[in-house]
Amino acid sequence: MTDELHLLDRLGTQLDPPDGPSAALRSRVMAEFVADGTLPHATTPLPRRGALASWMRQLRSPESTTRSWWLLPGLAAAVAAVLAGPFIVGLWPEGGPRTGPAPDSAPATFAPGATAARAVDTSVFGKAGSDRSDYMVFKSPETLAADKNVTAVFAGQVVGFTQGRALSGDGLEQKHVVMKVSVSKAIKGPDGDGGFAYVEMPQPICARNVPCSTVADFNKAVPTGTKVMVFGEDATEVAPAGGRFSNNQAGRPADARLIQPTPQGLLFESATAEGSTIVGAYEKVEDMPIGWHKDLPAGINGLATRLKAAQIDN
């Protein structure tokens, strides 16, 4: 087995054990690509080695808080056209591609204000971030918000998801969705564009550049009105060498700022049998350091108040 195939196998095992539900799908995809010549035999170097991974490295500064975790899916994609999720994300959700409404299904009508929490399904975001060695883990929301690379911290309500831009080249393509947020509290950075913020996330890819999670899946998984907290960085507007962005302004008004969340930095308020709690899109809150566990039943509003009190410097 080549180094690249070994790496894919190792990465896949980190995200899902050898006997896990995604293992069979991963094996079938690998076998299919070898059979049709997309992947060579073990003694032949892989074509287009690391093309997308190289682009992803150029998209982020060496000190970026999201650095390696965002690269993980790109490297896998260069091997077998399986991309993530930022930041950005995992190899694929359980059970492979989702089925449901058309990918361009619109979110429900949004009216800002108090809404009862509904359950959020974070599986649409994929699994990247499950290997903590791939990024800096912050001990608390306050330390993450204070990090110099985090340029935006805000709370609000989800308006909905729309199709974003795609990074492509040399046969590889990473599509993104954009989450529109009605900002209620800006803790760090500008208040948003016209009271809204636009958050970019990659769509997990199953194989052959086909997303496992469609725009409709995101809108179903995270209902309109869901409370959200984002810790993020400004997304690049210039594609790296060898790649290009398609529809660079997709999902946002012209020249609106685009934010990419950090691995710990995309949090939603989700309903539970007892009331509500905070859940992480990429990293389970219960798996984060203890500083993240304080007053979870207080929800996103409680967390925003806590961060405001910490007086995070811009």
In which band, very low, low, confident or very high, does the pLDDT at 176 lie, cut at 50, 70 and 90?
A: very high
- pLDDT beyond 80 at 200: yes
pLDDT above 90 covers what percent of the chain?
46
28: which 2 tokens?
A: 């079938």
State residue 150's pLDDT score.
97
How far is Cα 112 from Cα 157, in angstroms, rounded to an integer?
Answer: 7
User: Mind listing the pLDDT tens digit for each residue in 268-290?
Assistant: 999 999 899 999 999 999 999 99
- pLDDT beyond 60 at 60: no
Contacts of 223 by beta carbon, 8 Å cutoff, 6+ apart: 108, 118, 120, 158
- The count of C-alpha atoms lying within 13 angstroms of the C-alpha of 307, restricted to the half-sphere facing its C-beta, is 29
Please, what's the b/e burial string for 249-283 (b: 16 or more CB within 10 A of its CB; e: otherwise)? ebbbeeebbbbbbbbbbbbbbbeeeeebbbbbbbb
User: Mind listing the pLDDT tens digit for each residue in 74-119?
Assistant: 333 333 333 333 333 333 334 444 444 444 455 566 666 666 789 9
User: Mind listing the pLDDT tens digit for each residue in 220-250?
Assistant: 999 999 999 999 999 988 888 888 999 999 9
- pLDDT beyond 50 at 297: yes
203: which 2 tokens?
A: 């769509």
- Check residue 45 and give left, alpha or beta (phi > 0: left; psi -120 to 50: alpha): beta
Q: Is the pTM of this model over 0.85?
A: no
- pLDDT beyond 60 at 142: yes
How far is Cα 27 from Cα 35, in angstroms, rounded to an integer?
Answer: 12
- How many helices (H) and strands (E) are present in the chain, helices listed first? 7, 9
- pLDDT beyond 90 at 137: yes
State residue 107's pLDDT score.
59
Mean of the per-residue pLDDT values of the chain: 73
- pLDDT beyond 50 at 153: yes
Tell me the CA end-to-end span of the chain in Å, nearest whole number: 49
- pLDDT beyond 70 at 163: yes
From residue 125, give the alpha-carbon distance in Å to each of 130, 205, 221, 296: 12, 10, 10, 21
From residue 142, give the alpha-carbon distance in Å to each of 44, 147, 166, 236: 49, 9, 32, 25
Mean pLDDT of 279-307: 95
User: Mind listing the pLDDT tens digit for each residue in 39-49?
Assistant: 443 333 333 33
How far is Cα 281 from Cα 262, in angstroms, rounded to an integer?
Answer: 10
